[in-house]
Homo-oligomer: A and B are copies of this chain.
């Protein structure tokens, strides 16, 4: 479980409920079924057209693997893992036995390709480079699209409010219309409220959160790619450490002198 993201969502919910409570003791007044249907339904409909329904599963998968699940795979740990594999390869251990020691999926893929012994070093590097690039492109495109969904909830909030106003105004002119107009307009605004909440407390922040994960993932793939090169060249471990450390901020760097 990725505690920090969950806590973030809990904070959002608590702030929302507290905010509503502060405005009115009777929190149920902010609930309106049809408004909820219009905002959620509209956003779902727009998403299903823009993402091509059959890819909605992918959307949920991205959400669960990147947002909810443990992102534990720390870059520093990954570097240590690569250094150990590189050390073993240097000391003559056969690549076949190293495959099992790779803790990351992409790293394992790379070591496997070396162990297979069919392709030449340059071909392996080219293929892995290609894969890292391609994954980065696909993931960042998906993240960008998820972020772009943030524009739909406010739009459907506005649509709902407009629908409500049309009905309200059409029925105006009756006897006690003036008494009715206030509460009715209040109900109209609930759709706007739902749109703002859905977009700003959930869709947009989650999209930006995924962007951070995507970036981290991209960096880790670059680290692995660089690492595979060192494994192939059986590089000096100090060079490996200094080189891979470059991907981290100074404070996160692995101190190879203490390694």
State whether the Cβ of A97 lies closer than 8 Å to any Cβ in chain B: no
Looking at the assembled complex, report how far the CB atom of A147 sits from the nearest CB atom of chain B, in whole angstroms: 10
The main secondary structure of chain A at its interface with chain B is helix
Assembly CA distance A246 to B141 (angstroms) = 17
The verdict on A18 contacting B41 (CB below 8 Å), with A189-B162, A189-B166, A238-B118 known, is: yes
State in angstroms the CA–CA spacing of A247 and B134 once bound together.
6
Bound Cα distance from A9 to B50, whole angstroms = 10
A159 beta carbon closer than 8 Å to chain B: yes
Given contacts A18-B37, A135-B249, A201-B42, contact A127 B242 (CB under 8 A): yes
Can you list 24 A-B contacts with CB-CB less than 8 angstroms, sorted by A residue number? A7-B53, A8-B45, A9-B49, A11-B44, A11-B48, A12-B46, A18-B41, A19-B159, A23-B164, A30-B166, A49-B205, A50-B212, A51-B208, A105-B250, A109-B250, A130-B247, A131-B246, A141-B215, A148-B208, A155-B196, A159-B196, A166-B193, A172-B182, A173-B182
